[in-house]
Amino acid sequence: MVRLAFALTTVGLVSSQDLFLEQRSETVIDATGNMHSCLKSCQKTDDTKHFKTCERDGQTDCSKSKCCEFITDTCFVKNAYWAACTPSCKKGVPDALGEKWDCTALSPSGCHHLTSCVEKCAPGLASTANNATFAEELVEIVDVAEPVSEELTAEELRSTGDPPKCNGGSKDICKQSCKQIFTNVNIEHVCEVMCDKNCPDAPPKKCPSKKGLGACVRHCSSTSNGPDHGSHCEEDGRSSCLSSKCCKSPGDKCYTKSPYWAACIGECKPGKKNKVDNQIWDCEELKPKKVCDPYKYRTCIDTCVAQC
């Protein structure tokens, strides 16, 4: 059995037995080639359970379903009242109505749904990554693993917005979108011909971690963090977020009115009367704690499985 050498700092201590058990399980699964199939099974199960009723296009609000039917679309938050399926989103840039978008990407699957399955693929894989101290101690992973680029992944999966040109960034994604969009076989074939004509081949695979699939998946838990928007956060401005410092809607932020009250609202301008109550607010933004972001984590796992 091959033993892997981990470079540990003196920040904390991890038992050699725990390290060996983790290394042994990951090495065995990598050697037999089962980790890929196991993770793909996790992805398929996650899709079946949580991506049942997705929005077809940007005409309907996706803030509840948090997903889109077409592979080239993502459910992006505009504000606390609206989210829509679009190929791309530019944060803070006014749309056709002159309104700005928050552009937080949503996913109907919580991190815990996928991590519980990932853990079964390689015992210790997810749990050790969720330990912040241990993640920092694994110099082998942190130093050599290149951070997964959300923008790069998004660019590969989203439409250019110009039908005569490539839809989705590569031939494979373009052809998958053809199957989703058209039910007529002849039209689908024409669509695929256009994909071959206008789309480049998929770029060569490049695993985000030089240490392979196991290290890549482990790295996802430490890099896929975002602001807390959990069920314990405030739903709107009717309750104070002074203690929780977080809002359920990604389109809202927790701003202080005074030392005794703070609320979840879309915007706040210090020194000016607030639209909420027509009074002047302090407008200090209270930052929520960082937690696992479902969309980022799922995207990271997808990238590891596809590229490693």
The structure tokens listed for 4 are: 């892997």
Q: Do 140 and 18 lie in a common domain?
A: yes
For residues 16-34, average pLDDT: 41
193 in any annotated domain: yes
User: Strands 225-227 and 285-286, how do they pair?
Assistant: unpaired
Rounded to whole angstroms, the Cα distance separating 215 from 222 reads 11
Would 3 be classed as within a structural domain? Answer: no
**Contacting residues for 37 by C-beta, under 8 A, at least 6 apart:** none
Vertex 305: Cα angle to 302 and 308 (nearest 5): 130
217 and 234, same domain (yes or no) = no
Query: Per-residue pLDDT tens for 120-179?
Result: 886 655 444 444 332 322 223 233 333 333 333 333 333 333 445 677 777 888 888 887
- 215 and 141 together in one domain: yes
pLDDT above 70 for 249? yes
Please give the model's pTM, rounded to 2 decimal places. Answer: 0.68
Residue 2 located in a structural domain:
no
Higher per-residue confidence, 28 vs 257: 257
Residues 194 and 265 in one domain: no
DSSP-based three-state secondary structure for 264: strand
Identify whether the C-beta of residue 58 lies closer than 8 Å to the C-beta of residue 84. yes
The pLDDT of residue 25: 38
Do residues 119 and 240 both lie within one domain?
Answer: no
What pLDDT does residue 24 have? 37
Q: What is the mean pLDDT of residues 42-68?
A: 91
Pair 142, 213 in one domain: yes
Residue 97 has what pLDDT? 87
Say how many domains are in the chain. Answer: 3
Please enumerate in sequence order all residues whose Cβ is within 8 A of that of 224, keeping only pairs 6 or more positions apart, or say none.
111, 292, 293, 296, 297, 299, 300
Give yes or no: residues 235 and 119 share one domain.
Answer: no
Q: Which residue has the tokens 């937080």?
A: 104
CA dihedral 144, 34, 110, 49 (to 10 degrees): 150
The answer to whether residues 217 and 144 belong to one domain is yes
Determine contact, residues 255/268, Cβ cutoff 8 Å: yes
Is 38 part of a structural domain of the chain? yes
For residue 91, being part of any structural domain is answered with: no
DSSP 8-class letter at 92:
T
Considering the domain architecture, whether residues 178 and 215 belong to the same structural domain is answered as no
Going 189 to 191 to 194 to 198, the CA torsion angle's sign is negative
Q: Which residues are CB-contacts of 226 (< 8 A; sequence separation ≥ 6)? A: 104, 290, 291, 292, 293, 296
Shortest CA distance to 170 belongs to which of 180, 160, 185?
160
Q: Are 57 and 129 in contact (CB under 8 A)?
A: no
Closest CA to 69 of 82, 83, 85, 84: 85
The mean of the pLDDT values for the chain is: 76
Nearest-angstrom CA–CA distance, 182 and 179: 6
Range of the domain at 271: 229-288
Average pLDDT over residues 278-285: 93
127 assigned to some structural domain = yes
Pair of tokens at residue 57: 């296009």
Are residues 137 and 41 part of one domain? yes
Q: Is residue 84 part of a domain?
A: no
Distance CA 39, CA 23 (A): 18
**246 in the same domain as 164:** no
Q: Are residues 165 and 279 in the same domain?
A: no
Closest CA to 9 of 184, 111, 133, 116: 133
Does the residue 130 lie in any domain? yes
Q: Is 96 exposed, middle or buried (0-12, 13-18, 19+ CB in 10 A)?
A: exposed
Question: Is the C-alpha dihedral spanning 199, 204, 208, 213 positive or negative?
Answer: positive
